[in-house]
Amino acid sequence: MEAADPANPRSQSEFRLGPVEVPKASEVLAGELRERILTGELVEGDPLPAERELVKQAQMSRATVREALRILEVQNLVRVKTGRAGGAFVQRPTTKSMANSVSMLIRGRRIKLVDLMETREALEPFCAELAARNRADEDLTELDRANAAIAEPEADLAQFLQANLDWHVGVAVASRNELLTGFMSALSQAIYAGTENAAFVDTEVRAVTTQAHRAITNAIRDRDSRAAGRRMRRHVHGYAAALALADERDAIVVGQPAVGE
């Protein structure tokens, strides 16, 4: 064991020491740059110094500098352009990298489509309530546009799903809560991928969907948050039930090309 043993000189002193962390040079550089981005010292579009310039400033090799830039690139904090006038340009974090993490989690852990639908049932009614309170007029036009696209009889499955996604994300945007919007974007994208092969979308489904959307949109338009929440709850729950019918519960796992920044 590790009991103190006065006979052993080495066990006399009491202090213990956790594993010492030795950060990699590239991570240190990346962290440094990341702070300057996140604190706002560097803003959207600002160019980082050229690689060879960073080499001189940071006194590191180019390989190290490049690995640091690659880290920031994966985290979607910079976008790197080649050629003259190229370089690393600052990006503000968007929901995109979050959506990537979410879809990797979903794929890697084999999360079931029902779980996505459940999560959606948690988020969307609340989104609708907030949207009814906080919406601007332009949000309504977007919702109407998306809903019109859903009804479009010429549209194929992909277009239907895209328009459907647009409407749902539109509600989240109207809630004026960026975090909620981020969650919904990531989630919707994953649901899109999981529903892609669901061939249960026929003319009737579209009609029902459009009508439900219209009712919810109207509640949002009227700033009636209770109605918006209630209708959204019914709508999402109904959609989930329809999906569950279309396939046995445990069969559907979400697969998606994922990521790709």
Segment near DNA (CB under 7 A); pick from 86-94, 123-131, 179-187, 234-242? 86-94
Among 67, 142, 144, 196, binds its own copies (CB under 8 A): 67
Residue 128: CB minimum distance to DNA, A:
42
Nearest to 168 by CA among 219, 222, 124: 124
Q: What is the distance between the alpha carbons of residues 69 and 66, in angstroms, rounded to a whole number?
A: 5
Q: Based on the shown chain and the rule CB under 8 A, indicate whether residue 111 belongs to the binding site for its own copies.
A: yes
Q: What is the distance between the alpha carbons of residues 127 and 179, in angstroms, rounded to a whole number?
A: 11
Segment near DNA (CB under 7 A); pick from 23-31, 32-40, 202-210, 234-242? 23-31
Other Cβ atoms closer than 10 A to 99: 20
Q: Which residues of 172-197 are buried (b: 16+ CB within 10 A; e: fewer)?
A: bbbbebeebbbbbbbbbbbbbbbbee
Give me the count of residues in the chain. Answer: 261
Q: What is the distance between the alpha carbons of residues 34 and 68, in angstroms, rounded to a whole number?
A: 10
Q: Based on the shown chain and the rule CB under 8 A, indicate whether residue 27 belongs to the binding site for its own copies.
A: yes
In the complex, the residues that contact DNA under the rule CB under 7 A are 22, 24-26, 50-52, 59-64, 66-67, 69, 80-88
In the complex, the residues that contact its own copies under the rule CB under 8 A are 26-27, 31, 34, 37-38, 63, 66-67, 70-71, 74-75, 77, 92-95, 97-98, 100-102, 104-109, 111, 115-116, 118-119, 121-123, 125-127, 130, 177-180, 182-183, 187, 258-261
